[in-house]
Amino acid sequence: MVEQHGNLYLENLVGRRELKDSLLRLVQTGNNVSLLLQGEEGLGKHTVARALAEILLCRQPCNSYACHKCASCNYFHAQSHPDYVELTLQAGQKQITMEQLRNFTDEQVNLQPLLGSRRVFLLELYAVSPQAQNLLLKTLESGAAGNFYILLANNLTQVLPTVQSRTQIFNLPHLSQEDLQQFTATLPADGRQDAAELKRLAEFSQGNPGFYLQLLHDEAFLRYYNDLQEIFLRALKCSPALLLSEILTELGAYKDKDKQPYLWRIWSFFLYKTSLRRPSCRPVFIAWQKCVARLQANGSFEIQMQAFLPELAKVL
Ligand SMILES: [Zn+2]
């Protein structure tokens, strides 16, 4: 699978300085390492893992980083490196099968590296069932010399404790707003949004660059955001009696199953931000989260909103 913005080198990765330093130290320690990179979707696990794999395989690293010029780096960029194996979900696939995993673990048993001194394996562990993860234990413990495993997970609840104990765990942090701005500055300008809107997207994505890109390419997002912000502010100022009828009518457009997630996310963001400023809003934020959970479980839109909207009067 090709990254959206071509190859990203570890030295160009925005922010995450501590993570970069720890990963580079790990590269120096040599072989037979199993690494677990955890971080929520959108933070760039694959990008970091592939950038690390390139360094691990490079024949003539330069200041700890890959040279991007040697035969190994060229094969890597061409996605045809013989010592690099990826096991990722295929299009439409929800879980990696036992058979795929068996092929993956068997792949390393007796093979020697062809180009250098290492083989690097990348696995989307979050797509592997706990039962199938058991297949990995032996591999992680007694892999052939020269093997380096990079496992990816969104969080540790997806990883068997026995797998965790056989790996070195690294957290992929969110970007600071400053680093996120630096990241957005590297993107090609498409001229559609103005600076204030881009700032709104950056704030809403809360340091998650993948989420930022998703919002940027979602043409409806800013329209819904502005609309839902107006309704939210009106709802705060309405008397409880007016609230139910008028606001419910205005929110009617978001009853649609495709649009509801915008309402969930955008109002969660507003309530979260408000609760940071006003601790008294915290119970309202929690009530909203419960309301969203019921809507996600197919609760009736009208009933859930009728139950929640009076809570908004408690914010001010
Ligand atoms: Zn190289």
> What is the distance in A from the centroid of ligand 1 to the CA of 41?
29
Task: Show Cβ contacts of residue 121 under 8 Å, excluding neighbours closer than 6 positions.
Answer: 84, 85, 86, 87, 104, 107, 108, 147, 148, 149, 150
Reported in sequence order, the residue ranges of the chain that DSSP labels E, i.e. its strands, are 33-38, 84-87, 119-124, 147-153, 168-171
> What is the distance in A from the centroid of ligand 1 to the CA of 142?
28
> What is the distance in A from the centroid of ligand 1 to the CA of 7?
13
Quote the distance between the C-alpha of residue 26 and its chain's center.
23
pLDDT at position 7 = 64
Rg (alpha carbons) of the chain, rounded to whole number: 24
pLDDT at position 110 = 65
In the chain, what are the domain boundaries?
Answer: 10-171, 177-216, 221-312
> What is the distance in A from the centroid of ligand 1 to the CA of 133?
32
Fold of the domain spanning 10-171:
Rossmann fold (3.40.50)
122 to each of 46, 77, 149, how far by Cα in Å?
Answer: 9, 16, 6
Residue in this structure with the two tokens 């929690």, named with its chain if needed: 286
Q: How far apart are the first and last CA of the chain?
A: 49
Question: Which amino acid belongs to residue 276?
Answer: L
From the list 226, 185, 223, the residue with the least C-alpha distance to 202 is: 185
- The rounded average pLDDT for each run of 10 residues, N- to C-terminus, in the chain (316 residues) is 54 88 85 87 94 94 91 96 93 92 79 88 95 89 79 96 94 92 82 80 91 91 94 82 79 92 95 90 94 94 91 79
pTM: 0.82
pLDDT at position 1 = 32
